[in-house]
Chains A and B, each alone.
Chain A
Amino acid sequence: MHPLTDEDRAVYEWQMWSPGFGEEGQRRLRNASVLVSRCGGLGSVVAYELAAAGVGRLILAHAGDVKPSDLNRQLLMTHAWLGKPRVESARRRLLELNPRLDIVAVAENVNEENAAQLVGQADLTVDCAPLFSERFAMNRQSVAQGKPVVECAMYDLEATITTVVPGKTPCLACLHPSEPPQWKREFPVFGAVSGAVGCMAAMEAIKVLAGFGDPLLGRMVQIDLRDMSFHTFDLRRDEQCSVCASL
């Protein structure tokens, strides 16, 4: 375990005042590795908040180059970086905020071939992927490796967040065993929505890593920013789940 430095204490002093977190919580974040995939509307803000909070190492997985249509929400992408790799834009922006951060930048999206290796590098995954196939691959590997996942997803002004601890809570496949019929890959989205939800998902990751607060274990919050409503649902494990029933 890396101890906190004087610089760490100077930067994180205000959050270490939070009851239940303190210096031990900060030390846990300093020694934690988190996989964020992808670094789009949600993932950009998740990664930024985790970098700001002092998580020691981020593994970022995101393919492709920055496009103009990324710039209304993908806050780690910049106009100056149009046409260049997204994951490098993300790395640059995060290091401007926190030069102590260790970043593993992978210019690929998660798939069946790389999921085991990517999940294996992290203590926790924050799932910000736009495709169910990517989410299912991360879920399968996280369950197999016994690692927690913060599941966050959005659509228009709506979002859902739940935290998966394999064997203790429902996994993604318990809730959604397969891709829904008629899912449309492209949908309306404001950066203010993905930003708000990304901040909440980052806070879930911080709570799980630092061991404080009351994460959304076996619960899902549904957020609707159109009318600012928040509903929380108690979830159940699927005894027949093809991914986690044996745990």
Chain B
Amino acid sequence: MQVTVRCSGQLRAALGTSSVILELASGASVADAVAAVADADADAAGVRPMLLDEAGAIQRTLVVAVGSTQVADATGHALVDGDTVTILHPISGG
């Protein structure tokens, strides 16, 4: 299935793009999608630690949404074909 992942803030700057289209196995979770973004651009400086902690879990500083709703359980939330995942990297510019 195909899933679009939108990225913001300094994560977007590090990735060099505002969105990534992923091909994921049926039943993949939000956590799988985020991990795939981290793996997809392993050469991009600093992307992986922006997304995942040392244990491989999604950084708690991120707000992750599917469609227009923040996800409570990224591991348990199964995606469907055509979903859009948004990763809101925290920003504090004033």
Interface residues of A (CB under 8 A from B): 38, 40-43, 128-132, 135, 153-156, 158-160, 175-184, 187, 189, 194, 220, 222, 224, 226, 231-236
Contact = CB atoms under 8 A, between A and B. Distances in A.
Given A130-B92, A189-B93, A234 B9 contact: no
A131 B89 CA distance: 15
Interface stretch (B20-28, B35-43, B58-66, B75-83): B58-66
Contacts of B69: 233-234
5 contacts: A130-B94, A176-B61, A179-B90, A180-B89, A222-B88
Nearest to B53: A181
Given A184-B10, A224-B18, A43 B94 contact: yes
Contacts of B68: 231-234
3 closest Cβ pairs, A-B complex: A155-B91, A128-B94, A180-B61
Contacts, number: 99
Interface residues of B, number: 27
B94 A40 contact: yes
B55 interface: no
Interface of B: 8-10, 12-13, 18, 46, 49-50, 59-63, 65, 68-70, 72, 86, 88-94
A182 B10 contact: yes
B46 to A, nearest CB: 5
A38 B65 contact: no
Contact of A154 (B18, B59, B62, B91): B91
A40 B93 CA distance: 10
Contact of B91 (A153, A178, A181): A153
